[in-house]
Every structure is written in C-alpha cells, then in structure tokens.
A and B are shown apart, each in its own frame.
Chain A
Amino acid sequence: MGQSLLDALNVRVTGSGRRVLFLAHGFGTDQSAWNRILPYFLPSYKVILYDLVCAGSVNPDYFDFRRYTSLDPYVDDLLSILDFLGVDRCFYVGHSVSAMIGILAAIRRPELFAKLILVGASPRFLNDPEYHGGFELGEIEKLFSAMEANYEAWVNGFAPLAVGADVPAAVREFSRTLFNMRPDIALFVSRTVFNSDLRGVLGLVKVPCCIIQTAKDVSVPASVATYLKNHLGGRNTVVMLNIEGHLPHLSAPGLLANELLRALSR
C-alpha cells in the first residue's frame, strides 16, 4: 500500500543532507513549483517532494470524491508518506492549502515535525465579524461560478492575480499547473478549502511555526499572518516578504529560498 501511495502521489526524495525537509505545494500547483528553490536545499537537506492528490500531475482517478471531503484525508496521506519513508522528524514547508494540512498534521503527530514553515497560510478564508479572512461569502460563490462556467477563462484571469507580480514566467507556470487540474476536482477542492475552518484548533499546534507572508496577497490578507502568530500554540515568527503575490516560490524564488534557509536555521 505504501509504495503504491508513493507512486500515486509522485513522491520524490532527493538531496544529500541529514536533515529532512518536506516541501508541500499548494492549491493549483504541483511539486514542480519548488523547482526553482530546490537547489538551495539539496546540499544540506534530504528533500521530500510530493503532489497533493488533487494536483494535475496525479492521475485524477485517484481522487475519490467521497474521501477527500475535508482536509483530514490529505493529512492521512501526508502522514502515511512520512511513515512509509521512515521519517521520524522533519521540517515542513507548506504553501497555502498544504500549510493548513501541515497544521493539522502537526496537531495529530507533533513529534514528527521539528518546525512548520507556512507560506501564504490562512486558517480560514471567509470573513467573520471579528475575523478578516479576505473573502466574503458572495465573492466565493462568484468565484466558484466563474470556475464552473469557464475553467480556462477563470484560470487565465486568476493566475496573474494570484502571482501578483509582473513575472510572466511565473504566471505561465502557475496557469499551466492550475489548468492541469481537472476542473471538477479543482472546484471540489476549493470548496473543501473554503469550507474548512482551522481557527479553533490553532492552539493545539505546539510545533514552532514560521509564517512567511507576502506584503500583498490576493488570497491571504496580511492580518492573517498576525492572527496565525497570535493563535498558533507554539513559538511563532512572522516573516513579511516585501513582494507581491500568493506564490513567492514562483515569483521570487531566490528571496523565498533565503528566507526559508534562515527560518530553517533558526
């Protein structure tokens, strides 16, 4: 079972270091998103990469609509990968939805994680009276109907918005991976993500976290980073990157890589 899981999710282990670094990509990308920053870690880390089951690079048949109704099954996948690879402690870098998954995984198995680095993370995307998640209900519904109506058009509109900075290569790359997702899966996953609410459980995280947040992010307002810092139960730091976009690993790989190295060594 383990091996088939590794195959299905394209798990890749590379690098020559002692310490284990787990790179988990976010919604709309796959593990190729890390390619630009991977070289920075290869000399000193053993890097594990995988694709979320919803990624375009995974056979869509593996996506079971009955199973992946919440984030917990994703956590199961993550933990079973770690178990199968015999990892007993790792640094976890999670972007967007993977940051959420990492939080949940660290609640369940805190001993596995030496540190969580959350890039563009948000515990909740919807606004509440006393919480600013960045999205109103109506907006989300519009987003979903836009996705439904014409996925390609949505991708083409959303990708530059998400990347934020004027980096055509990054926009191209993100559009590619985003479009690779089967539309129904993409919609399903984004519904799952938007329905999730991690705010109540943040205090359960005891693992130290580093929250990396860009100054301008369409999906995550900057205040969320502060919220995370204040509510996560461990020792937390916030690093604000003075760049734009939800995907710093695509739009500013060098900068992010150095921030990650710094965060890892702290």
Chain B
Amino acid sequence: MPTPVSTARQCLTQESISTLDAAVAVARRRKHTQTTSLHTVSALLSLPSSSLRDACTRTRTNTYTSRMQFKALEICLSVSLDRLPTQKDVEGDPPVSNSLMAAIKRSQANQRRQPENFFVYQQQSQSQSLVSNVKVELKNLIVSILDDPIVSRVFGEAGFRNYDVKLAILRPVSNQFFRYKRGNPVFLCDYNDGFDVGLRGFSFPFSGFGMVDDCGEGEVKRISEILVREKCRNPVLVGGYARDVLKKFLGRVEGRRLSGEFPVELCGLSVISIENEVGSWDLESVKLRFNEVGRLVEDSIGPGVVINFGDLKGFVGEGGVCVETLTFVVRELSRLLEVYRGRVWLIGVASEYEMYMKFVKGFPSIEKDWDLQVLPMTSPKSSREEAYPRSSLTESFVPLGGFFPTPSDVKYPLGGSTNCVPRCHLCNEKCEQEVTALSNGGYTASVAYQFPSSLPSWLERPELNTTRASDDKANDSMVLSAKVVRLQKKWDSICQRLHFAPFLAKPETYRAYSQVPTIMGFQVVQDGKDNVSSHHANASSTVTGCKVVESSRLTDVELNATAEASAQVIVIPKPVNMRFRETAESDEQCALRTPLKSWSSSNVVEGLTSPTSVTSVTTDIGLRNKLSASRVIETSPHQSDKDLMQDSSGCLPEISDVLAASTKNNASTISFIPSSDLCEQYDQKDYKYLYTSLFSKIGRQEDAVAVISQTLARCKSGNGKRKGTSRGDMWFNFLGSDGICQKKTAIALAEILYGGTESFICVDLSFKDGINYVNSMIGWQDKNNCDMKSRGKTMVDYIADQLRRKPLSVVYLENIDRSDPQVQSSLLYALKSGRLLDSHGREVSTSNAVFVTTSRSMEGKKIASSTEETFSYSEENVVATKGRPIQILIGFDLGDNVISQNTRVLNKTRKDESIPVFLNKRKLVGNDGNIRQYKATEVVKRPHTATKISLDLNLPAEESEMTDVENFDREPFSENFNAWLDNFLTLGDETVIFKPFDFNALADEKLKVITQCFHKIVGSEGSLEVDSQVVEQILATVYLSDSSKVDDWINQVLGQAFVEARKRYNLNSRSVVKVIPCEVQEQAQGALLPATIIMN
C-alpha cells in the first residue's frame, strides 16, 4: 500500500523534502503511478549540487571518462524508469511506493543508531516515542536508497559499485580523491585572466547586469594592453568587426564601465573623436576643432586622452579627399602625440588590412610617427550573447534528454538557489527595472537582449525595434498599468521557465528524444497545444522551454500564437534534418555516379535502384562496384600483346561505359580460356619452356628473360632463396630503363604462371599527385590507381585488398625507388615474413604471389652503365610523346650550298637537349618563328617532360637535386632509403637488369626507311627534314607495339604524303620537305601516328 506524499514528507528534513518533491515531480511528469526510489535517484542526479553525483564522480573507475559513465547511468536509469507502470489521468502527486518508504524507514533507523545522534533521539523517543519524528537527513536517505535492489542494479549496470558510492557519500570529501583538480587549468598565457574557480555554474547572463553592451573582455584587454605599452601604443583595429569593437570599447571607456582587469593606470581616460573631421572638406572648421582638441588634451585630468580618428577609409579617400585637410589632420595629430607624449593615444579602425597598407603608403612615415600597432579583430563582440548556449539548450541537446548536467554544465544559471521562490530575486529585480523603464517612457531592449537568445542579433534587432516602436506609440498612461501587469506576468513566466524548466521540461524532451525525428516534431507540437489550452504561463516552457526570449518579448495576447510559433520553430529541424539526409544521399549518389559513369554502366543502374537505402549501404555498393570494375579494366589488356595499345585506349574510361559492362560479363569466361589451354600444357619447372613462352610474348631483352626464367624454374622446383619454407612467393626486382618491356614481362608472367591478366596487379608507387600521365602514351598503365588513391586508401591498402581478392597473382610495383615509407616497411615485412600488413594492421598472405618491383635507378646495385651512351632520345621523352597530327611543309633552301641528299632531324623543339643527331648545318627556315612559338606552348603544356628529364641517368645527381620536384619528394626519406633498397634487393629472389632500349639505333633505322621511301617517291632531288618530335612519335610506336607496323605506316601514309607533295609542288634540288608535328589540338588517345598527313 503506497504512502501519501505528505506522510513521507513528515519524516524528512527540509533538504530531503525538496529531493522528494523533485522525485514526485519526476514521477508525475512521467505519469507514473508511484514515486519510487528510481525517481528519487533521478531527481538527486539532476540537482545541480548533488552529493550523489559528487560521490559518483569520486568513485568512478578510471577505465571510462566520467562523461561516458554518467551517460551510461543516465541510460540505465531511463530504461528502468520506462519500465514502470504508467497511468493516463494523474490526480495529485503519485504516492510514495513501498520500497521508497522502506528506504526512508531504514534510514530513520540508521540515523537513530548513529552514535552522535543517539542521545538526542533517545530523549525524543522517551518523550514522544514516535519513530516518524526522526527527520531523515539527505545523506542517510541516499545511502538507504542505494540499498534498494532496483537502484543498485541500475548503478551496477552503469559500472558503479554500490558500496563504493555509499562509502564516498559517507566519507567526508577529501581532495586527494579527485582524479584531476576540479579547478580549471589556467590557459591564458598572454594575460592572466583570473576566472574564479568557485564559480562553477554558468552565471554569465546575469552577472553582467548593469552592462548594457557587454563587450568581450578579451578584446578590451587586448586593446588596453597595447595602450599601456611603451612602444607601438596606438592601436589600429583591423578586421571586419573592428568598428563594432572600437565603438564598444570607447563606449565603455567613456562610460567608466570597465571591469576589474582594465589596467589601473588607464582609469579615467577620456575620449575625443575626430572621426567626422577626417573626411571633411572644410579646413577652417577642422582647424577650429583641432584647437578645441588641443585645449581638451591640455585640460584633461587623469591618465590622458584617447583620440579616435575613426576609419582609415577617411584617410585613403574613398570617393575623393581633401588633401589639405588630411595633411593638416595628420600633422596636428603627430604634433599632439609629440607634445603630450604619453598622455595622448590614437585609436582607429580599418576594415581590411589592405586599407591599412594603403594608408601607410599614403603617409610613408606615419607608422613610426604615430607609433601604430595593428590589432586583428576577427570575431564579433556580441558573439558572447549570441554564441552562448541557451540555458535550456542542453536539455534538448544532450542525447537522451540531458538528464543531468556534467559538473560544469551550463544548465542552471543560478545553481540551486532558485528552487522554491515563486519568482526569484533576480527576475523580480529585472521586472522592476523594466517597469520603471516603461513608466519613464523608454523601453530598454537590453533586458530581453541580455538573455542568451535563440536568435542571433541580426534577426533579433529588427524585432526589438518594432517592439520598442509599438511600445512607444502606445505609451500613454491608460495602457501603462496594463503593461505593468503584463510585464509582471512575463517575468513570472520567464522565471518559471528558466529556473524551473529543468524539472518541467525534462521528461518532455526526453520522450521526444527517444523517438524518431519525424515523430518528435509532431509530438512536441501536440504538447505545445495541450499546454496552451491548459495553462498558458507554462505553455512555451513545456515546449522544450527553449524559446525564452521570443515569448518573453511578446505579450499575453500573442502568447497563443507564440506557443504555436515556437512549436513550429521546433518542427523546423525535422525537415532540415531530412533535407540534410536527402542531400547527403543525393550527394552520395552524385559522388557515386561520377566515378561510375566512367567505370561501368551497370553500376549506375545499381546505384539508382537504391536511392532510399541508407548511405552506408550505397557507399558500400559503390565501393565494391568500383573495385570489381577496376578488375575488369585490368583484365582487358589480356587479349593480345600486339594491339595492346588499341586495347588500352579502348579501356580508357571514356569509352568503357559500354565496354566495361560487357567485359565484366566476359571476364569470367575469358579467365577460363587460358586456364584450359595454356596452364596445364607445360611444366612450370621447365626452364626452356618458360624462356620461349616469355620471349615470344616480349620480343626483346633476351638476357633478362633468361635470368627470369632461370629463377622461376629454380623457385618452382623448390631451390629458391627461401628453400626451407613452404612459401611459394617470388620476388623479382627489375632494374633498368626499359619500362614497357618490364611491364610486358610482368604481364607475361601473370599469363604464364596464373593463366591470365586478371591476376595482374599493377601499382605505380611513385604515383603521388593523383594525376596520371594522361597525355602520355602509356596512359593505359593504371587509371584505377588514381581513383584508388582518392578513396581513403593508401597504396598498401590497395595492394593488400587486391591480394585478398586474388591471392594467386603477379603484383607489379613500379618505381619502388620512389615509394613512401609506409609501403617500404610493409613490403620489407612481407618479403621477410610472407605476410603483407595493410594500414589497419590486417595481414594478407603473400605466399602465392609473385612480386615484381621495378626501379629506374641503378643506385641499389652498382652496375656500371657503361653500355649506355648519351641518348638524344630518352625513354622518358619517347614515352611522354603524344600522338599529334603530322604535316608536311615545303620550304626552299636559298642558301648557296646545295645540300646533299641528306635527311635531317630538326631539333628545334627541344633545345634543352644535348646535341641534335644528324644536324650538319642548322639553317633558318622560313617559318622558324612559328616553330619557336610552338615550342613555347609545348613546354607549358607538358610540364611532365620537363621534370622527367632530370631523372635522366646521365645527368649528375647533384644538379638535379635542387631543381627537381620529384627529387624533393624523396628527399625526406633519402637518408635511410638506400639502406632499405639494398636490403630489399638482396632479400629478393633475383634482380634482373633490363638493358636500356636503344632508341638511337632505332631512330637511325627508321630514318633510313623514311629516306628510302622519300627518294623512291620524290627522287634524289630535294632534301628531307624530319622533326625530332615526329621521330619520337615513331619511336614510341615501335617501343610500345612493334616495328613492322611503323614500316607499314612509313611506306603507306608517309609515302602517300610524299606523292601528294610531289604532285602539288614542283620539287627541285633546293626544296626542303619538312615533316613536322602540328601544334594544333592533340589527336585522340590511341594511335600515335596519324592516319593521314596534313599538307600545306
């Protein structure tokens, strides 16, 4: 049988009674049938200065942060509270439950037994013999409530130990228990802002009572700090908010409203403003004014005078200035500063630093003369009021309703002092202030403004103005009394809302919180409406009580509307949230679609079918699809080596929309073919077989192929470096410069060993800037790499991921010498242990993979590059060549010497290179200027070649170091890099050296073919000039595909062009036929050599 609340109250002390009342209020809010111990605990915890919470803080384990543990406690408590039975219609207070009553009784008994109380109670009981007369103290009540099994379970679930808490309550507080000192750490370095430690609560909005404009203390301090300095003592505030700050600062100096931290020596400053004079055209009046100023300065008492010269705009003249006046002003001010040294300050503002610079430029010595100091002002001064979280904010804010604040919480502006007074002292005072203000006729907006507002000032001000206006208008005696009443009512409600809100609003918000956002908005509206009808004073307070300012400003009549309005305001977040999510989703889709568009069309379809799904799901899909798509891209180069080029161009994202989708389907079928016809046919241990099959796929570099196949055979037969272990991985290092051949080799390895190019993983480790060699010919390298990088993965992650999917594969790592440290360390680890660690620390077995690493430099091994001559055609240049249209120009050699039938290579376009090959005598060609120009644009267009050149092995290393960007990249690692590379190379199975591709010989050979063709068609008359870039185009074609195709091209396309030229022009012995690239737009990717040649 539950006990009525009044009975229970009789056994309690005043302190305990208020706790019980709070508990009853909690129960009532939650519409519970009885007030239990749980309610009491909840009430206890939400009290601002709760001994229970203190105790909990002291006893909590160190494993979790106090915030987390409190949150846990909060959750457990609310869950248990939710389980309690509720009833619809509540009449009066829910009675005290048996368990709580038992707890009270227990504590009574306890208290009587306590030795210090023994005699008192002994006497009492002798006289009255009534147990209920023992008033239970709060401490004892808490202890016995903690004994309640429900409560102890809740605490246990939250990770508090019951007896610890009890002990902490009973023990006197001693500071050594505190884990960290509760006093705030002093953060300020530049100035000692002595914020009082004792002020735990958040009393700001009320502390600044008298101050109408509360200028940020920090800014005042910073300004005054400059003022007291010896040098550079005249501040110029710079920044968008400087004006406001200055106004407020001066206002406070004039009004003597400076707080304690304002330097004593500056107290009593006076302010003179000459703002208006600065821009003035009237010299006479300015002179008069300055006479006055001089007098004022002379007469001033106290520390001195601050002269405000206003915005520097006036000096630099926006819209015309009177130079005379300005020079006068400047001179006068300098004079004043000089004469009254130490007693005169200047102060001004500039909205932008540029303005200040202009000013200083206009008056060159002014910075020194005026002793100016620039002071940046970057935040608005009213930020404090605006940015303040509203007192009730945290309620709706902290997840799960913000049941009780963490110690320094902002929630209760006035601490526990406002529990019982109907209208607290402060509110009373404010109310009276307003009433008097009202009767004086002026409505001070300040009061409402003082409250931390839900609206920023820019929204608030206009409204305030209107209020004031209407107030003024209606301000006659008739209305006055009504207004007073209204004001009082308003303050009543403010007071109630602010200071009782914690108890009233909590359950509301809490309940709302546990719902889905959409429902939340609805529910709150409902509540709001209910309350409007029932008791209007509380109306808006129950609507999560956060619209303090708004409703306080509005009148009774409007209150109805307000409640609804504020309810609406609360609803707003819902659509906002929704919109957020929607945009998030649509963005997600956009993000998805952009890569997808380029990857495969099937993805887009998938992406579109799941528009409503949760974002993470979509992203998952996106990622997976991307990866699968990238795999597709990798598979396609498989088809054949010969038209690798065409293939790759086909694989480029632009076209792959359609292609990839189809290839994807094909991919599975493709992978079967080789496995059926190739893999099983030969024994991988057979050296000869390996050699022939490799060589047939590569076509050059016999030595390297021999070494590779030997090593392969050795490893496969179990005689590799890691003989003892069961690991099947192999590590090759390809050194040398023939990059294409290296890659071809690796692909061939993948085909031979694992039966297809889909088991070929290619990563360029030097890949740093996310820009691939899009314009280079081997752009087919790895487009996926680029995308991979931007998707939150590191190189290692990508490699590990690929390996996880395809454990049996050839991992081709280009430019190992330019890898980053993370890759280096994990590769070395993989080499040693057979497991690759990704950046999350997950391991992937590498024991079935073949690793091929390449490096251009020979640094690792001291291999003499004696075979190398100076190349005029370096690999880098050739590889970077773009397919351009080629044109033929006919010039006439007007010089004396008739040229022999020689073919020359024009090398104008690359002057930075060493010696042109065939150049006998350079001649000025008619349109040389044109070509020169072309060169200039070319250099701009291809920064890559410029940087690449310095990687040329022939250049001395020291030279390239200072100029080369890429070398800078490496610079940080270079110390331990060589050691690492050495180590890596020695641990690997084999280091294979690729001979540099002999471009010169090839160029010779091809030129010979061209010359032959030329002479065959044109005859022996005339000479031929071939631009070096055209030669490079030809070389690149040979390099990437094969030589016979180029011969065909020369004989057909070029030959055709020569025939045409002969037809059109009358070629004689003096004519020069020039084959040069066009500087017009580039050809589409793919074919390096154009199908037709442009004739002029």
In the assembled complex, the Cα of A182 lies from the Cα of B975 at a distance in Å of 45
B188 at the interface (CB under 8 A from A): yes
Give the residues in chain B near A36, CB-CB below 8 Å. Answer: 794, 839
Inter-subunit contact B397/A183 (CB<8 Å): yes
In the assembled complex, the Cα of A53 lies from the Cα of B410 at a distance in Å of 17
Would you give the shortest CB distance from A74 to chain B, in whole angstroms? 10
B406 at the interface (CB under 8 A from A): yes
Size class of the contact patch on chain B: 35 or more
Give the residues in chain B near A233, CB-CB below 8 Å. Answer: 353
Inter-subunit contact A252/B792 (CB<8 Å): yes
In the assembled complex, the Cα of A83 lies from the Cα of B839 at a distance in Å of 34
Would you give the shortest CB distance from B413 to chain A, in whole angstroms? 12
Give the residues in chain A near B378, CB-CB below 8 Å. Answer: 70-72, 100, 104, 196-198, 200-201
A226 at the interface (CB under 8 A from B): no
Inter-subunit contact B972/A44 (CB<8 Å): yes
Inter-subunit contact A150/B520 (CB<8 Å): yes
Would you give the shortest CB distance from A254 to chain B, in whole angstroms? 4
In the assembled complex, the Cα of A151 lies from the Cα of B400 at a distance in Å of 11
Inter-subunit contact A266/B968 (CB<8 Å): yes
A24 at the interface (CB under 8 A from B): no
Nearest residue, chain B, Cβ from A149: B573
Nearest residue, chain B, Cβ from A198: B378
**Known contacts A43-B821, A183-B397; A104/B376 CB under 8 A:** yes
In the assembled complex, the Cα of A166 lies from the Cα of B588 at a distance in Å of 7
Query: Which residues of A104-161 have CB atoms within 8 Å of chain B's CB atoms?
Result: 104, 107, 124, 137, 141-143, 145-146, 148-154, 156-158, 160-161
Q: Looking at the complex, which one of B222, B570, B616, B791 makes contact with A252 (CB distance below 8 Å)?
A: B791
Give the residues in chain A near B569, CB-CB below 8 Å. Answer: 145
Inter-subunit contact A257/B187 (CB<8 Å): no
Task: Kindly specify which of B385-393, B633-641, B888-896 makes contact with the partner chain.
Answer: B385-393
Nearest residue, chain A, Cβ from B796: A254
In the assembled complex, the Cα of A59 lies from the Cα of B239 at a distance in Å of 32
Give the residues in chain B near A198, CB-CB below 8 Å. Answer: 239, 376, 378
Inter-subunit contact A67/B383 (CB<8 Å): no
Inter-subunit contact A201/B353 (CB<8 Å): yes
Q: Looking at the complex, which one of B216, B573, B619, B790 makes contact with A70 (CB distance below 8 Å)?
A: B216
In the assembled complex, the Cα of A5 lies from the Cα of B180 at a distance in Å of 13
Inter-subunit contact A188/B387 (CB<8 Å): yes
Q: Looking at the complex, which one of A76, A104, A253 makes contact with B189 (CB distance below 8 Å)?
A: A76
Give the residues in chain A near B281, CB-CB below 8 Å. Answer: none
In the assembled complex, the Cα of A251 lies from the Cα of B356 at a distance in Å of 40
Would you give the shortest CB distance from A220 to chain B, in whole angstroms? 15
In the assembled complex, the Cα of A145 lies from the Cα of B379 at a distance in Å of 21
Inter-subunit contact B795/A254 (CB<8 Å): yes
Inter-subunit contact B619/A171 (CB<8 Å): yes
A87 at the interface (CB under 8 A from B): no
Nearest residue, chain A, Cβ from B516: A153
Would you give the shortest CB distance from A135 to chain B, in whole angstroms? 13
**Known contacts A40-B822, A145-B573, A165-B790; A61/B406 CB under 8 A:** yes
Inter-subunit contact B380/A80 (CB<8 Å): no
B1009 at the interface (CB under 8 A from A): no
Nearest residue, chain A, Cβ from B576: A146
Query: A-facing mask of B380-411, CB < 8 A → 1, else 0?
Result: 10011011110001101111000000111010
In the assembled complex, the Cα of A107 lies from the Cα of B975 at a distance in Å of 35
In the assembled complex, the Cα of A143 lies from the Cα of B408 at a distance in Å of 26
B682 at the interface (CB under 8 A from A): no
Inter-subunit contact B588/A160 (CB<8 Å): yes
**Known contacts A4-B185, A61-B406, A150-B577; A199/B240 CB under 8 A:** yes
Interface of B is mostly: helix
Q: Looking at the complex, which one of A1, A141, A149, A165 makes contact with B591 (CB distance below 8 Å)?
A: A165
Nearest residue, chain B, Cβ from A189: B387
In the assembled complex, the Cα of A53 lies from the Cα of B184 at a distance in Å of 12
Interface size on A, residues (CB 8 A): 99
In the assembled complex, the Cα of A17 lies from the Cα of B976 at a distance in Å of 12
Query: A-facing mask of B853-877, CB < 8 A → 1, else 0?
Result: 0000000000000000000000000
Q: Looking at the complex, which one of B238, B389, B792, B821 makes contact with A200 (CB distance below 8 Å)?
A: B238
Task: Kindly specify which of B80-88, B726-734, B763-771 makes contact with the partner chain.
Answer: B763-771
In the assembled complex, the Cα of A64 lies from the Cα of B820 at a distance in Å of 42
Nearest residue, chain B, Cβ from A162: B584
In the assembled complex, the Cα of A67 lies from the Cα of B588 at a distance in Å of 38
Query: Which residues of B720-774 have CB atoms within 8 Å of chain A's CB atoms?
Result: 768-771
Give the residues in chain B near A266, CB-CB below 8 Å. Answer: 968
Give the residues in chain B near A69, CB-CB below 8 Å. Answer: 216, 218, 379, 383-384, 387
Give the residues in chain B near A4, CB-CB below 8 Å. Answer: 185-186
**Known contacts A39-B822, A259-B769, A261-B969; A160/B791 CB under 8 A:** no
Nearest residue, chain B, Cβ from A244: B591
Would you give the shortest CB distance from A217 to chain B, in whole angstroms? 12
Give the residues in chain A near B969, CB-CB below 8 Å. Answer: 258, 261-262, 265
Inter-subunit contact A152/B792 (CB<8 Å): no
Nearest residue, chain B, Cβ from A251: B792
Inter-subunit contact A188/B350 (CB<8 Å): no
Q: Looking at the complex, which one of A76, A153, A161 makes contact with B188 (CB distance below 8 Å)?
A: A76
In the assembled complex, the Cα of A239 lies from the Cα of B394 at a distance in Å of 40
B190 at the interface (CB under 8 A from A): yes
**Known contacts A73-B187, A242-B790; A188/B389 CB under 8 A:** yes
Inter-subunit contact B388/A65 (CB<8 Å): yes
Give the residues in chain B near A257, CB-CB below 8 Å. Answer: 820
Inter-subunit contact A197/B374 (CB<8 Å): no
In the assembled complex, the Cα of A233 lies from the Cα of B406 at a distance in Å of 44
Query: Which residues of B785-814 have CB atoms within 8 Å of chain A's CB atoms?
Result: 789-795
Give the residues in chain B near A124, CB-CB below 8 Å. Answer: 240
Query: Which residues of B512-532 have CB atoms within 8 Å of chain A's CB atoms?
Result: 513, 517, 520
In the assembled complex, the Cα of A137 lies from the Cα of B193 at a distance in Å of 33
**Known contacts A149-B396, A198-B239; A65/B204 CB under 8 A:** yes
**Known contacts A65-B389, A157-B580, A166-B591; A146/B240 CB under 8 A:** no
B195 at the interface (CB under 8 A from A): yes
Inter-subunit contact A166/B386 (CB<8 Å): no
**Known contacts A200-B352, A253-B792; A182/B67 CB under 8 A:** yes
Inter-subunit contact B393/A184 (CB<8 Å): yes
Nearest residue, chain B, Cβ from A186: B397
Query: B-facing mask of A24-49, CB < 8 A → 1, else 0?
Result: 00000000000010011111110000
In the assembled complex, the Cα of A143 lies from the Cα of B240 at a distance in Å of 23
Would you give the shortest CB distance from A180 to chain B, in whole angstroms? 9
Give the residues in chain B near A203, CB-CB below 8 Å. Answer: 352-354, 356-357
Give the residues in chain A near B193, CB-CB below 8 Å. Answer: 67
A195 at the interface (CB under 8 A from B): yes
Would you give the shortest CB distance from B106 to chain A, in whole angstroms? 35
Give the residues in chain A near B396, CB-CB below 8 Å. Answer: 148-149
In the assembled complex, the Cα of A162 lies from the Cα of B393 at a distance in Å of 25
Query: A-facing mask of B593-634, CB < 8 A → 1, else 0?
Result: 000000000000000000000011011101100000000000
**Known contacts A70-B379, A157-B580, A191-B387; A254/B820 CB under 8 A:** yes
B973 at the interface (CB under 8 A from A): yes
Would you give the shortest CB distance from B173 to chain A, in whole angstroms? 17
Q: Looking at the complex, which one of B195, B615, B968 makes contact with A67 (CB distance below 8 Å)?
A: B195
The 9 closest A-B pairs by CB, nearest first: A149-B573, A203-B353, A167-B792, A70-B379, A157-B580, A197-B240, A80-B189, A201-B376, A44-B972
- Apart from A192-B383, A199-B352: 16 A-B pairs, beta carbons within 8 A: A40-B822, A65-B202, A66-B195, A67-B218, A70-B383, A124-B240, A141-B459, A145-B576, A151-B397, A158-B580, A165-B792, A199-B239, A242-B771, A243-B770, A251-B791, A254-B795
Task: Give the interface of A toward B (CB within 8 A).
Answer: 1, 4-5, 8, 17, 36, 39-45, 53, 59-62, 64-67, 69-73, 76-77, 79-80, 83, 100, 104, 107, 124, 137, 141-143, 145-146, 148-154, 156-158, 160-161, 164-171, 182-184, 187-188, 191-192, 195-204, 231, 233, 241-244, 250-255, 257-259, 261-262, 264-266
Q: List 9 A-B contacts (CB under 8 A).
A: A65-B410, A70-B379, A71-B379, A160-B587, A164-B591, A165-B591, A184-B389, A201-B378, A204-B353
